[in-house]
Structure 1
Amino acid sequence: MAETYVSGVAGRYATALFELARDAGVIDAVKADLDRFGTLIAESDDLKRLVRSPVFSSEEQEKAIAALLDKIGMSGLSANFFKTVAANRRLFTVESIIRAYDALVASYKGEVTAEVTVAQPLSDAHAATLKQALDAMTGKNVKLAVEVDPSLLGGLKVKLGSKLVDASLKTKLNSIRTAMKEVR
């Protein structure tokens, strides 16, 4: 496994959780719990307020999180982790912790994410072909994060790590326009 470094408070919490989950053999179960909690935050304005607001005391946050975890049936390492984060008044970092944990899991599994921007949605066949090409190019398991941007007109942009391949029709037309201006 290549070392992945995550920094800051969220990075330290994510790293600690990842190491505990790895040692217990529950990496995927914890990831599923974190994803579920992240979804709950995204869907509930009240939970967002609880997580992000400094107005709530750690006791109030702990009680609310414990009640929520009981209600959704989350227990074990993930539940203890959320309770600890609330007790330490670090609940405001939970969304960053989830992202950092995801990065650690992806690195551990040898996965990388390619950010793909297309003019129109990719068919399953095109997505599979693109994934195979990127897998072969990187030697790793590439996950596609596809975003649709109609302003590209056609083609696609692929960002993998620090590399960007821009094969969009919009960029090609802009290049032609620039070349035409230089000819005059």
Structure 2
Amino acid sequence: MAADTRPVSGLAGRYALALLELADDKKKLDTVAEDLRGLKALIDDSEELRRLLRNPLFGRGRQAKAVSAILDKAGVDDVTRNFCLVVTRNGRLFALPEMIEGYLQELARRRGEVTAVVTSAGELSDQQRLQLEKALKTSVGGKVNIESRVDPAIIGGMVVRVGSRMIDNSLRSKLNRLQHAMKGAG
């Protein structure tokens, strides 16, 4: 499995790279990465927050006040806080999720790490996670970060994405393949 090793680009990429350089200068690469992962989870879990990010009708002042309150509650580092507020003041809040993704991708790329997005029907146990990490490390030949997602709709098994490659070993896909095979046989 080959990882996507292209550097980030576009508006979100420029902001992500600027944050990466600033975090590197301040020796806070990992601190900012953890803050961004936490913000990403907040954004993923809140339709209200996603609406705030996307809707310019809220106005920059109102967005800045809301973002500031969220950052305070999340307890993020000053580097992360200042970055998010600059993004808000510049009217680029809509691109924050892509900036976060760009930062995390570029940090992993520079470190030679690969991120595998693993979707399973339920939470992975520590043992399953370790076994999967070991198998993926052997497969990709380097450090692997696992981003776990839960989707009960896959019924069982898992779907693993590394870069542009996907392995779908879910029970739902197996049942779909069996259904198609039975239609063809009849």
Superposition TM-score, scaled by structure 1 size: 0.74
- Between 1:51-60 and 1:99-108, the stretch displaced more is 51-60
Over aligned residues, Cα RMSD in angstroms? 3.4
Q: Which residue of 2 aligns with 1:53?
A: 55
Give the aligned partner of residue 106 of structure 1: 108
Distance 1:67 1:138, change over 3 A: closer
Change (3 A) 1:127 1:21: same
Q: Which residues in structure 2 correspond to 1:20-99 (within 5 Å)?
A: 20-42=22-44, 47-66=49-68, 68-70=70-72, 73-74=75-76, 76-99=78-101
**Structure 2 counterpart SS, 1:165:** strand
How much identity, in percent, do the aligned residues show? Answer: 43
Distance in 1, Cα, partners of 2:171 & 2:47: 40
Residue 23 of structure 2 contacts residue 32 of structure 2 at CA under 8 Å; is this kept in 1? yes
Distance 2:150 2:69 in 1: 39
Bigger Rg, which one: 1
Alignment of 1:4-15 (within 5 A): 4-15=6-17
How many aligned residue pairs are there?
183
Q: Distance in 1 between matches of 2:44 and 2:169?
A: 33
1:18 aligns with 2:20: yes
Cα offset, 1:132, TM superposition: 0.6
Superposed displacement of residue 26, structure 1: 0.7
- Deviation larger for 8-17 or 44-53: 44-53
- Judge conservation of contact 1:153–1:170 (CA < 8 Å) in 2: yes
Q: CA deviation at 1:163?
A: 2.5
Structure 1 residue ranges without an equivalent (≥5)? none
- Counterpart in the other structure of 1:133: 135
Bigger relative CO (Cα 8 Å, ≥ 6 apart):
2
Please tell me whether the aligned partners of residues 38 and 95 of structure 1 are also in contact (alpha carbons under 8 angstroms): yes
The one-letter amino acid of 1:163's match is R
Cα pair distance change 1:177/1:133, threshold 3 Å: same
